[in-house]
Protein backbone atom coordinates (compact mmCIF):
# COMPACT_ATOMS: atom_id res chain seq x y z
CA UNK A 1 0.00 0.00 0.00
CA UNK A 2 1.39 3.38 -1.05
CA UNK A 3 0.13 6.26 1.05
CA UNK A 4 -0.11 9.77 -0.44
CA UNK A 5 2.69 12.05 0.76
CA UNK A 6 1.13 15.26 -0.52
CA UNK A 7 -2.39 16.67 -0.68
CA UNK A 8 -3.20 18.92 -3.64
CA UNK A 9 -6.46 20.53 -4.78
CA UNK A 10 -8.56 18.42 -7.15
CA UNK A 11 -7.64 19.44 -10.71
CA UNK A 12 -10.30 20.90 -13.02
CA UNK A 13 -10.38 19.62 -16.60
CA UNK A 14 -9.59 21.97 -19.46
CA UNK A 15 -11.43 22.02 -22.78
CA UNK A 16 -10.13 18.67 -24.13
CA UNK A 17 -9.14 17.15 -20.78
CA UNK A 18 -10.28 14.03 -19.02
CA UNK A 19 -10.22 13.92 -15.23
CA UNK A 20 -9.14 10.34 -14.54
CA UNK A 21 -9.42 8.49 -11.25
CA UNK A 22 -6.16 6.56 -11.38
CA UNK A 23 -6.47 2.88 -10.48
CA UNK A 24 -2.96 1.71 -11.43
CA UNK A 25 0.39 3.08 -12.54
CA UNK A 26 3.59 1.37 -13.63
CA UNK A 27 7.26 2.04 -12.95
CA UNK A 28 9.52 2.14 -16.00
CA UNK A 29 13.24 2.96 -16.23
CA UNK A 30 12.36 6.55 -17.13
CA UNK A 31 10.44 6.89 -13.85
CA UNK A 32 13.44 5.68 -11.87
CA UNK A 33 15.79 8.08 -13.68
CA UNK A 34 13.51 11.06 -13.15
CA UNK A 35 12.93 10.22 -9.50
CA UNK A 36 16.69 9.95 -8.95
CA UNK A 37 17.65 13.08 -10.86
CA UNK A 38 14.88 15.65 -10.48
CA UNK A 39 13.94 17.39 -7.27
CA UNK A 40 11.29 20.12 -6.94
CA UNK A 41 12.32 23.64 -6.08
CA UNK A 42 12.10 24.64 -2.45
CA UNK A 43 8.49 24.91 -1.22
CA UNK A 44 7.20 23.51 -4.51
CA UNK A 45 5.83 20.07 -5.33
CA UNK A 46 6.36 17.86 -8.35
CA UNK A 47 4.12 14.95 -9.29
CA UNK A 48 5.87 12.39 -11.50
CA UNK A 49 4.80 9.25 -13.32
CA UNK A 50 3.89 8.22 -16.87
CA UNK A 51 1.81 5.12 -17.49
CA UNK A 52 -1.64 4.92 -15.95
CA UNK A 53 -5.00 3.20 -16.18
CA UNK A 54 -8.19 4.37 -14.59
CA UNK A 55 -11.77 5.59 -14.93
CA UNK A 56 -12.94 8.90 -16.40
CA UNK A 57 -14.71 10.93 -13.70
CA UNK A 58 -15.27 14.23 -15.54
CA UNK A 59 -14.62 15.72 -18.98
CA UNK A 60 -13.88 19.15 -20.43
CA UNK A 61 -16.50 21.02 -22.44
CA UNK A 62 -14.99 20.11 -25.83
CA UNK A 63 -14.30 16.42 -25.17
CA UNK A 64 -15.73 14.24 -27.94
CA UNK A 65 -14.16 10.81 -27.53
CA UNK A 66 -14.89 9.81 -23.92
CA UNK A 67 -17.52 10.12 -21.22
CA UNK A 68 -17.56 9.66 -17.44
CA UNK A 69 -17.31 5.99 -16.52
CA UNK A 70 -15.07 5.00 -19.43
CA UNK A 71 -12.02 2.90 -18.56
CA UNK A 72 -8.86 4.34 -20.12
CA UNK A 73 -5.10 3.87 -20.36
CA UNK A 74 -2.36 6.24 -21.49
CA UNK A 75 1.26 7.34 -21.11
CA UNK A 76 0.76 10.93 -19.98
CA UNK A 77 2.57 14.05 -21.14
CA UNK A 78 5.98 15.63 -20.59
CA UNK A 79 4.37 19.03 -20.10
CA UNK A 80 1.93 18.21 -17.32
CA UNK A 81 1.94 16.77 -13.80
CA UNK A 82 2.49 13.02 -13.68
CA UNK A 83 0.22 10.09 -13.05
CA UNK A 84 1.34 9.23 -9.51
CA UNK A 85 -1.80 10.78 -8.07
CA UNK A 86 -5.36 9.79 -7.24
CA UNK A 87 -6.81 12.20 -9.82
CA UNK A 88 -5.04 13.10 -13.04
CA UNK A 89 -5.71 15.37 -16.02
CA UNK A 90 -4.87 14.15 -19.51
CA UNK A 91 -5.77 15.37 -22.99
CA UNK A 92 -8.27 12.98 -24.57
CA UNK A 93 -6.24 12.94 -27.80
CA UNK A 94 -3.47 10.86 -26.21
CA UNK A 95 -5.75 8.41 -24.40
CA UNK A 96 -6.95 4.95 -25.40
CA UNK A 97 -9.88 2.83 -24.32
CA UNK A 98 -8.70 0.13 -21.94
CA UNK A 99 -9.04 -3.39 -23.35
CA UNK A 100 -11.89 -5.29 -21.73
CA UNK A 101 -9.83 -8.46 -21.40
CA UNK A 102 -7.24 -7.13 -18.93
CA UNK A 103 -7.28 -5.54 -15.48
CA UNK A 104 -6.08 -2.07 -14.48
CA UNK A 105 -2.63 -3.24 -13.34
CA UNK A 106 -1.98 -5.04 -16.62
CA UNK A 107 -3.24 -2.07 -18.63
CA UNK A 108 -0.97 0.36 -16.78
CA UNK A 109 2.05 -1.78 -17.62
CA UNK A 110 1.52 -1.43 -21.37
CA UNK A 111 1.55 2.15 -22.73
CA UNK A 112 5.25 3.12 -22.76
CA UNK A 113 6.49 -0.40 -23.43
CA UNK A 114 4.09 -0.82 -26.33
CA UNK A 115 4.84 2.59 -27.85
CA UNK A 116 8.57 1.87 -27.62
CA UNK A 117 8.27 -1.62 -29.09
CA UNK A 118 6.04 -0.46 -31.94
CA UNK A 119 8.27 2.48 -32.91
CA UNK A 120 11.41 0.36 -32.70
CA UNK A 121 10.00 -2.42 -34.86
CA UNK A 122 8.11 -0.48 -37.50
CA UNK A 123 9.63 3.03 -37.48
CA UNK A 124 13.30 2.45 -36.62
CA UNK A 125 13.94 -1.03 -37.97
CA UNK A 126 11.48 -0.13 -40.74
CA UNK A 127 10.06 -3.64 -40.90
CA UNK A 128 7.05 -4.15 -43.13
CA UNK A 129 5.16 -7.40 -43.41
CA UNK A 130 4.55 -6.97 -47.13
CA UNK A 131 8.10 -6.43 -48.34
CA UNK A 132 10.35 -8.55 -46.11
CA UNK A 133 11.91 -11.83 -47.25
CA UNK A 134 10.24 -14.94 -45.89
CA UNK A 135 13.43 -15.99 -44.13
CA UNK A 136 14.19 -12.59 -42.51
CA UNK A 137 15.34 -12.87 -38.91
CA UNK A 138 15.02 -10.64 -35.84
CA UNK A 139 17.21 -11.00 -32.74
CA UNK A 140 15.78 -9.40 -29.58
CA UNK A 141 18.43 -8.91 -26.89
CA UNK A 142 16.85 -8.66 -23.45
CA UNK A 143 13.62 -10.21 -24.66
CA UNK A 144 12.13 -10.92 -21.23
CA UNK A 145 11.80 -7.27 -20.20
CA UNK A 146 8.84 -4.99 -20.73
CA UNK A 147 9.69 -3.76 -24.22
CA UNK A 148 10.99 -7.16 -25.31
CA UNK A 149 7.84 -8.91 -24.14
CA UNK A 150 5.70 -6.64 -26.31
CA UNK A 151 8.15 -6.61 -29.22
CA UNK A 152 8.09 -10.39 -29.56
CA UNK A 153 4.31 -10.44 -29.68
CA UNK A 154 4.10 -7.63 -32.25
CA UNK A 155 6.69 -9.32 -34.45
CA UNK A 156 4.90 -12.66 -34.29
CA UNK A 157 1.41 -11.31 -34.82
CA UNK A 158 2.09 -8.62 -37.43
CA UNK A 159 5.15 -9.78 -39.39
CA UNK A 160 6.53 -12.96 -40.89
CA UNK A 161 9.92 -12.63 -39.18
CA UNK A 162 11.70 -15.51 -37.54
CA UNK A 163 12.02 -14.18 -33.98
CA UNK A 164 14.98 -15.11 -31.77
CA UNK A 165 14.91 -13.84 -28.19
CA UNK A 166 17.63 -13.84 -25.55
CA UNK A 167 17.28 -14.75 -21.88
CA UNK A 168 19.47 -16.43 -19.27
CA UNK A 169 17.35 -17.98 -16.53
CA UNK A 170 14.95 -20.92 -16.84
CA UNK A 171 11.93 -18.80 -15.93
CA UNK A 172 12.76 -15.98 -18.37
CA UNK A 173 13.62 -18.45 -21.11
CA UNK A 174 10.20 -20.06 -20.68
CA UNK A 175 8.54 -16.62 -20.61
CA UNK A 176 10.13 -15.57 -23.91
CA UNK A 177 9.23 -18.89 -25.50
CA UNK A 178 5.65 -18.69 -24.24
CA UNK A 179 5.30 -15.21 -25.76
CA UNK A 180 5.99 -16.69 -29.17
CA UNK A 181 9.72 -16.50 -29.92
CA UNK A 182 10.72 -19.21 -32.38
CA UNK A 183 14.04 -19.67 -30.56
CA UNK A 184 15.53 -18.52 -27.26
CA UNK A 185 19.29 -18.23 -26.79
CA UNK A 186 21.46 -17.42 -23.76
CA UNK A 187 22.85 -13.87 -23.75
CA UNK A 188 25.45 -14.75 -21.12
CA UNK A 189 27.24 -16.69 -23.88
CA UNK A 190 28.66 -15.34 -27.17
CA UNK A 191 25.65 -14.49 -29.32
CA UNK A 192 27.30 -15.61 -32.55
CA UNK A 193 28.00 -19.05 -31.08
CA UNK A 194 24.49 -19.31 -29.68
CA UNK A 195 23.05 -18.46 -33.10
CA UNK A 196 25.18 -21.12 -34.74
CA UNK A 197 23.91 -23.61 -32.15
CA UNK A 198 20.36 -23.14 -33.43
CA UNK A 199 21.38 -23.13 -37.09
CA UNK A 200 21.86 -19.44 -37.95
CA UNK A 201 25.03 -17.80 -39.25
CA UNK A 202 23.58 -14.31 -38.82
CA UNK A 203 20.44 -12.19 -38.46
CA UNK A 204 18.94 -9.36 -40.47
CA UNK A 205 17.63 -7.22 -37.62
CA UNK A 206 18.78 -6.73 -34.03
CA UNK A 207 16.75 -5.00 -31.31
CA UNK A 208 19.18 -4.38 -28.44
CA UNK A 209 17.15 -3.49 -25.37
CA UNK A 210 19.85 -3.57 -22.70
CA UNK A 211 23.60 -4.01 -22.19
CA UNK A 212 24.39 -2.94 -25.76
CA UNK A 213 27.97 -2.06 -24.80
CA UNK A 214 28.56 -5.58 -23.53
CA UNK A 215 27.08 -7.24 -26.61
CA UNK A 216 28.17 -4.81 -29.33
CA UNK A 217 31.04 -6.82 -30.80
CA UNK A 218 28.86 -9.94 -30.88
CA UNK A 219 26.03 -7.95 -32.47
CA UNK A 220 28.36 -6.80 -35.23
CA UNK A 221 29.63 -10.34 -35.73
CA UNK A 222 26.07 -11.69 -35.89
CA UNK A 223 24.58 -9.06 -38.20
CA UNK A 224 24.09 -10.02 -41.83
CA UNK A 225 25.43 -7.65 -44.53
CA UNK A 226 23.22 -4.54 -44.73
CA UNK A 227 21.60 -5.57 -41.49
CA UNK A 228 19.89 -3.13 -39.16
CA UNK A 229 20.49 -2.49 -35.44
CA UNK A 230 18.16 -0.49 -33.18
CA UNK A 231 18.81 0.13 -29.48
CA UNK A 232 16.96 1.83 -26.64
CA UNK A 233 19.48 1.83 -23.79
CA UNK A 234 22.23 4.37 -23.03
CA UNK A 235 25.47 2.54 -23.80
CA UNK A 236 28.99 3.78 -23.32
CA UNK A 237 30.77 5.02 -26.41
CA UNK A 238 30.44 2.50 -29.24
CA UNK A 239 32.81 2.19 -32.18
CA UNK A 240 30.31 2.36 -35.03
CA UNK A 241 33.14 1.97 -37.53
CA UNK A 242 32.89 -1.75 -36.85
CA UNK A 243 29.54 -1.73 -38.67
CA UNK A 244 31.16 -0.45 -41.87
CA UNK A 245 32.34 -3.92 -42.80
CA UNK A 246 28.69 -5.03 -42.76
CA UNK A 247 27.31 -1.86 -44.36
CA UNK A 248 24.97 -1.89 -41.37
CA UNK A 249 22.41 0.68 -40.26
CA UNK A 250 21.86 1.81 -36.67
CA UNK A 251 19.08 3.66 -34.88
Examine the domain organization and report whether 30 and 119 are in the same domain.
no
Q: What is the pLDDT of residues 212-238, one digit of tens each?
A: 999 999 999 999 999 999 999 988 889
pLDDT above 80: residue 4: no
Considering the domain architecture, whether residues 205 and 242 belong to the same structural domain is answered as yes
Checking if the pLDDT of 208 tops 70, the result is yes
Confidence band of 5 (pLDDT split at 50, 70, 90): confident
pLDDT per position as a tens digit, 68-122: 999 999 999 989 999 999 999 999 999 999 999 999 999 999 999 999 999 999 9
**% residues pLDDT > 90 (the chain):** 80
What are the tens digits of pLDDT across the range 160-184?
Answer: 999 999 999 999 999 999 999 999 9
Last residue of a domain, one of 109, 126, 157: 109
Distance CA 13, CA 1 (A): 28
* Domain, as residue range, for 187: 112-250
Name the pTM for this structure.
Answer: 0.88
Q: Which residues of 88-97 are buried (b: 16+ CB within 10 A; e: fewer)?
A: bbbbbeebee
- Rounded mean pLDDT, 2-14: 82
8 in a domain, yes or no?
A: no
Are 27 and 78 members of one domain? yes
pLDDT band at 146 (very low <50, low <70, confident <90, very high): very high
CB 184 within 8 A of CB 143: yes
Q: Is residue 148 one of the residues assigned to a domain?
A: yes
The CATH number of the domain where 198 resides is what? Answer: 3.40.50.720
- Which pLDDT does position 180 carry in this prediction? 98
Does 155 share its domain with 79?
A: no
Residue where one domain finishes, among candidates 61, 90, 109: 109
Is residue 116 located within the same domain as residue 235? yes
| Residue at which a domain ends, from 64, 80, 109 | 109
| pLDDT at 39 (0 to 100) | 61
Amino acid sequence: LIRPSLTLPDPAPGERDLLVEVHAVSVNPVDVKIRAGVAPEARHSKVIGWDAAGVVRAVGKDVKLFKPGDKVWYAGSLRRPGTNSELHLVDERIVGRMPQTIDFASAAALPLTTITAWELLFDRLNIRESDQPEDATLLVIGAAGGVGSILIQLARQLTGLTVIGTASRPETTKWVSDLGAHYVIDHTKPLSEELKRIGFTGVDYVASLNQTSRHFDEIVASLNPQGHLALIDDPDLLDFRKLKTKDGLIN
